[in-house]
Amino acid sequence: MTQQAATAGTTTGVGGTSRPIRPLDGIRVIDVSSFIAGPFAAAQLAEFGAEVIKCELPKVGDPLRKFGSLLPADNGTAETLPWLSEQRNKKVVTLDLKKPEGAEILKKLIAQADVLVENFQVGTLEGWGLGWETLKAINPRLIMVRISGYGQTGPYAGRPGFGRIANAFGGLSYLAGYPDRPPVTPGSATIPDYLAGIYGAMGALLALKARDRTGEGQYVDIGLYEPVFRILDELAPAYQSRGFVRERMGPGTVNVVPHSHYPTKDGRWIAIACTNDKIFARLAEAMGEPELTSAARWGLLKNRERDRAEVDAYVGAWTARHDRADLLALCERGQVPCGPVYAIDEIFTDPQYEARDNIAFIDDARFAEPVAVANVVPRLSATPGGIDWLGQPLGTHNDEIYKRLLGLSDAELQLLEKAGVI
């Protein structure tokens, strides 16, 4: 159920099988990051053809292996659902970068790589003799994606960071919740990790494109909070220009109304978005109350903003008299932007998700049934990405990578394993 290309040609994929050509075929990525932000950046590159070599601490592995839920029929494997999903398409090897021998092995891998992804606390790689200047000297064409809590510079650079902290520091948590209650988690504490991963993958692609022109590599520097701050629409200019500090608005939205979540007769919720006067007029027609659009009432946005609480209550009273399916039909006929507020069980049965294969069901010999994961984004018409396999057990590809790329013998591998290097 992964995306397929019709006419792009084929190349050899996992296990010697053929698959459609992908945009990043021939690009090699070394992923020494952990948890979500860096690994997600690397996973997106892997989805589109890059050979991603995931390096983990011997016997311990990435902490993500122990983070999250297990499949009910787990067959005794230790991998969690986030691991299976976010380490897709990667070749996993063990390597202790803290040991001098491990650092030397990474340097040898870097000499044959295009991209390195890391999200250690600032200064960690430098402490192991693996900083940017060292790796650049080994491979001047290297692209290094560096994701950290606060970026590589600034007074907070040395601080540790996680998604929850980035949500708070980036300005998003302050906006989440109701004005008379404490800020809440804005959907998920991992939003910054995924956003940073997206920007990390984009940064790698931009740097690869620049390298095509200059022949030189560079590093990509992302603070975990920065993508959060970047997506907060007019927050910065509104404050700079008129001192406006946006407060929590519950499900409402600044500058427009009605633009919220409203209850339905069958105990569900519907999202309605009236972003201008014309759309509100359509909603009024759908409600059977066109008089609401008079200049004296709510036909103008300034009046709706003035009476925000009354407008939302009025619309909510209307939606509460109808089942959600009927409301969706009414709004669709009237060209009023609307949508169901879905829980995951409803997503699994929605025909739009099914038609676009937004959920991929991946076969894996470790599990009795296919594993459902979010499918690849974006969708390319000629050279789409795909999911070849889920996150693999610790050290699965040690032999392949260390023998094929570095030419190590069985005896050398045994010595390195005994020393705890791999």
Domain holding 274, by residue range, is 259-263+269-340
Q: Return all residues near 205 (Cβ < 8 A) that are at least 6 apart.
A: none
Query: Do 357 and 331 share a structural domain?
Result: no
Cα of first residue to Cα of last residue in the chain, in angstroms, is 35
For the record, the structure tokens of 155 come out as 């007074």
Query: Do 20 and 146 share a structural domain?
Result: yes
In a domain, 241, yes or no: no
CA distance linking residue 132 with residue 127, whole number of Å: 11
CA distance linking residue 392 with residue 413, whole number of Å: 20
The alpha-carbon radius of gyration of the chain (Å, integer) is: 25
Whether 5 has a pLDDT exceeding 50, the answer reads no
Instruction: Quickly state the pLDDT bin for 4 (edges 50, 70, 90).
Output: very low
Please report how many Cα atoms fall inside a 13 Å half-sphere around the Cα of residue 263, on the Cβ side: 9
Query: Do 293 and 148 share a structural domain?
Result: no
Tens-place pLDDT, residues 267-319? 999 999 999 999 999 999 999 999 999 988 999 999 999 999 999 999 999 99
CA distance linking residue 368 with residue 74, whole number of Å: 9
pLDDT computed for residue 282 by the predictor: 97
SS3 33: coil
pLDDT computed for residue 70 by the predictor: 81
Instruction: Quickly state the pLDDT bin for 10 (edges 50, 70, 90).
Output: low
Query: Do 322 and 368 share a structural domain?
Result: no
pLDDT computed for residue 99 by the predictor: 97
Query: Do 207 and 111 share a structural domain?
Result: yes
As a whole number, mean pLDDT of residues 232-237 equals 95
Query: Do 212 and 276 share a structural domain?
Result: no
Query: Do 361 and 313 share a structural domain?
Result: no
In a domain, 254, yes or no: no
Catalytic residue numbers read 193
Full-model pTM: 0.92
CA distance linking residue 311 with residue 317, whole number of Å: 10
Query: Do 190 and 61 share a structural domain?
Result: yes
In a domain, 376, yes or no: yes
In a domain, 251, yes or no: no
Query: Do 321 and 203 share a structural domain?
Result: no
Whether 176 has a pLDDT exceeding 90, the answer reads yes
As a whole number, mean pLDDT of residues 309-331 equals 97
Q: What is the CATH number of the domain that holds 44?
A: 3.40.50.10540
Whether 12 has a pLDDT exceeding 60, the answer reads no
CA distance linking residue 387 with residue 376, whole number of Å: 7
Q: What is the CATH number of the domain that holds 311?
A: 3.30.1540.10
pLDDT computed for residue 368 by the predictor: 87
Tens-place pLDDT, residues 137-161? 999 999 999 999 999 999 999 999 9
How many separate domains does the chain show?
A: 2
Query: Do 356 and 332 share a structural domain?
Result: no
In a domain, 303, yes or no: yes
Whether 77 has a pLDDT exceeding 80, the answer reads no
As a whole number, mean pLDDT of residues 190-208 equals 98
Tens-place pLDDT, residues 79-119? 899 999 999 999 999 999 999 999 999 999 999 999 999 99
pLDDT computed for residue 73 by the predictor: 58
